[in-house]
Structure 1
Amino acid sequence: MNIAIGCDDAAVEFKNILKDYLVSLGYEYTDYSEAPKHSSNLYADVAERVARAVASNKHERGLIVCGTGIGVSIMANKVPGIRAALCHDVFSAVRARKSNGAQIITMGSRVIGPELAKTVLKSWLDADQIDESSLPKVQRIMELEDAIQLG
């Protein structure tokens, strides 16, 4: 699995630690942290790049980090078809996948330490299927998203 990753300037070192961890687990990644020429590189821009790459099925999953993980989560969720979850604990990370089908996990470098972040990330990566009881709920999210887009 090739994972889309990105960070803003508040989380470069944190992202690099998680990047190395992904490689140690056998994952490949594409880093969307750097802005294309003549573009902005605020956290919203990074989150949009990662979310669009996941929404277009270029990547199955994404990881976005900033200072708190909040702003990138908000922005990623604005991209149609994306379910991004801010997770700083294992239970939330697993439930983000199994209950909500979150394709993107976000974390904050100022909120969680790198060792716990690795554990949270691995738990999220290992949780690969939505629970059968949650399928109608995720389907409803997607139906409402479609209805909202249509206006």
Structure 2
Amino acid sequence: MKVGIAADHGGFELKEMMRGYLKSLGHEVVDFGAKELVQLDDFPDYVIPLAKAVAAKEVDRGIAVCGSGVGACIVANKVAGVRAALITEHFSAHQGVEDDDMNLMTIGGRVVGFNVAQELISTFLKAQFIGAERHLRRMEKVHQLEK
């Protein structure tokens, strides 16, 4: 799977660790930055290009990290075609994909440790959209809202 990653200073360390972990699982990784730790950078500068790549299907899924994960989630969801959620536990990591076709996960670099992040990432990437009629009906309502 081709996975895009992005982080600001609050998620930089976790993103750097994620890259190696994703590669060890056999995924192709596209890093949208930050490329170096800069304390005054802004998460939209990295998350927006990632979100646009997810929406354009240039990457299969995206993972964005900021300090809490909240800001990254807010900005990612401003891009039409992105269905992002802040994930802090195992159930939502798979259920968000299975029921809601989530294609971008955000996590908090100051909230989630690397071992938990590994579990969340692995679960998110293994999950598949079920596509049941009720899920398709709900997703169509989301698509209409985006127009």
User: TM-score normalized by structure 1?
Assistant: 0.88
Q: Which moved more, 1:113-122 or 1:41-50?
A: 41-50
Write the letter of the residue equivalent to 1:115.
Answer: N
Amino acid at match of 2:49: R
> Corresponding residue for 1:90?
90
Tell me how far apart the structure 1 counterparts of residues 20 and 11 of structure 2 sit (CA, whole Å).
14
Counterparts of 1:41-56 in structure 2, within 5 Å, are: 41-56=41-56
Q: CA deviation at 1:131?
A: 4.3
SS at match of 1:26: coil
What residue is the counterpart of 1:127 in the other structure?
Answer: 127
Distance in 2, matches of 1:119 and 1:135, equals: 27
> Which residue does the alignment assign to 1:149?
none
Report how many residues are paired. 142
Kindly state the Cα deviation for residue 140 of structure 1 after the two structures are TM-superposed: 1.4
Q: Show structure 1 runs of 5+ residues with no match.
A: 147-151
Q: Please tell me the root mean square deviation across aligned C-alpha atoms, in Å.
A: 1.5
Matches within 5 A, 1:1-150: 1-34=1-34, 41-132=41-132, 133-146=134-147
User: After TM superposition, what 4+ stretches of structure 1 lie above 4 angstroms from structure 2?
Assistant: none
TM-score of the aligned structures, taking structure 2 as reference length: 0.91
Distance of 2:34 and 2:105 partners within structure 1:
19
Distance in structure 2 (CA, Å) of the matches to 1:34 and 1:112? 19
| Matched position secondary structure for 2:80 | coil
Cα separation, partners in 2 of 1:130 and 1:143, compared to 1, 3 Å: farther
Q: What SS is found at the alignment partner of 2:100?
A: coil
Deviation at 1:34, TM superposition (A): 3.6
